Amino acid sequence: MNLRFLTAGESHGPALIGIMEGIPSGLALDAEMLLAQARRRKLGFGRGNRQAIETDEIRIVGGVRRGITIGSPIALILENKDHVRWAEIMRVDPPAGGEPAARQVHVPRPGHADRIGGIKYARDDLRDVLERASARETAMRVALGTVARALLAELGITIASRVVRIGGAVDDTPWRDVPPEEIDASPVRALDAAAAAAMVREIEAAKEAGDSVGGVFEVVARGVPVALGSYAQWDRRLEGEVGRTFMALNAIKGVEIGLGFGAAARLGSQAHDEYEPGDGVRTRYRSNRAGGIEGGMSTGQPIVVRAAMKPIATLMRPLDSVDLRTGEATRAHIERSDTCAVPAAAVIGESLLALALADAVLDKFGGDSMDELRERVAAWERTVRAR
């Protein structure tokens, strides 16, 4: 792995921390770029009131000087504004009187990390689990993904997303290139207005019932160089890294590339992308059923990834559970949450794909500076056009 990153911090702790190593020197980067993507992560009908509390402003505290990366690890800090109300509950140092923490959690929520995390790390207070397992951590992953996104943009690679399903409402219109602002203007980040209205109704119905609703989002990368990844070893296949990166996102239960599961219902003649002569190149594709990845390598076509997000595990009308102190049946713990976060997950997916592709680009082309990287990518593009 050429691009390494870690995050740290709890949902209601003082801050989220991110560190990234492997970004070449000479990449323009500033806090405004990070904030723009952080604000997009807060979009979407069905979000909870914490989105109004947190500003998600990020400080760059390492790896950047005068707006330019310098080759050393990039360090980011995102302060949690809501921490002021949780300072005593989430304090790091032990209290002088030894009194127990307030708002302890002993009733696990079905579908969340609570129960198994408590078993794994031997924590009686499940808040020690849910604070880190919270999707709040993705705010820092978006920040780190924005750094990767900036690198890709310098090479002509762009990434966009949309929502294609929320509950039973589906937007089955084909992908079309539109300004990102147009998709972001939709309350659910869908392309079709009628489908968006149906999705809003699904969210409203779930909220009224004290329930939650999931869905499917799509992320598309364009301008990706040919032959990122490799078929030579299983762990170098590009779709493997993309799939792993998306499956590591909270609440994601399925990932597909191109036709994905739909290919299982087709004949081979309807599942693959035929070649034909092209202008300026020896061959070009007639379709993109493979979703831009074939044989573990990028084809140069748009990379199309879809991910299925389950409904959020915290319900205002909670499911049945057990009080771990007494063993008695009870209702699950209620924690502030969203009704639907699929539109936000789509934005997060853009950052995830950026992280996977930036790592693949650096693996193939290397380079300690952006000038070196640009030269190598340009030389490769000239070579590929003759093949």
Burial of 4 (0-12, 13-18, 19+ CB in 10 A): exposed
Strands (E), 122-274: 158-166, 169-170, 215-222, 252-257
Tally of CB atoms within 10 A around 329: 9
Q: Are strands 303-309 and 215-222 parallel, antiparallel or unpaired?
A: antiparallel
Q: Is 371 helix (H, G, I), strand (E, B) or coil?
A: helix
Q: With cut-offs at 50, 70 and 90, classify the pLDDT of residue 386.
A: low
Q: Which residue has the higher pLDDT, 338 or 193?
A: 193
Helices 31-41, 342-365: axis angle to 10 degrees equals: 140
From the number of C-beta atoms within 10 Å of its C-beta (0-12, 13-18, 19+), residue 340 rates as buried
In angstroms and rounded to an integer, the radius of gyration of the C-alpha atoms of the chain is 22
Q: Does the pLDDT at position 99 exceed 90?
A: no
How far apart CA 48 and CA 41 sit, in angstroms, is 13
163-186 b/e (C-beta count within 10 Å ≥ 16 → b):
bbbbbebbbeeeeeeeeeeebbeb
In the chain, % of residues over pLDDT 90: 84
Nearest Cα residue to 352 out of 43, 144, 165: 144
CB atoms within 10 A of CB 115: 17
- Mean pLDDT in residue range 96-103: 85
Element (H, E) at 130: helix 127-133
Q: Are 21 and 122 contacting, i.e. CB atoms less than 8 angstroms apart?
A: no
Give yes or no for a contact between 361 and 225, defined as CB atoms under 8 angstroms apart: yes
Give Cα separations from 110 to 138, 291, 331 (angstroms). Answer: 21, 34, 10
Structure-token match 């599961």, residue found: 261
**Structural domains in the chain, sorted by start:** 4-384 (3.60.150.10)
According to the model, what pLDDT value does residue 195 have? Answer: 97
**pTM for the predicted model, two decimal places:** 0.95
- CA angle, corner 364, sides to 363 and 368, nearest 5? 65
- pLDDT, one tens digit per residue, over 9-66 is 999 999 999 999 999 999 999 999 999 999 999 888 877 766 777 788 999 999 999 9
User: CB–CB of 330/323 below 8 Å?
Assistant: yes
Least confident of 39-48, 221-230, 257-266, 304-313: 39-48
* Mean pLDDT of the chain, nearest integer: 94
- Dig out the tokens for 266 from the structure: 């087709």
Least confident of 166-170, 206-210, 371-375: 206-210
Nearest to 21 by CA among 79, 67, 63, 77: 63
Taking alpha carbons only, the member of 277, 292, 313, 294 closest to residue 109 is: 313
Q: Which residues contact 100 (CB under 8 A, 6 or more apart)?
A: none
| Dist. CA 341–CA 213, nearest whole Å | 8
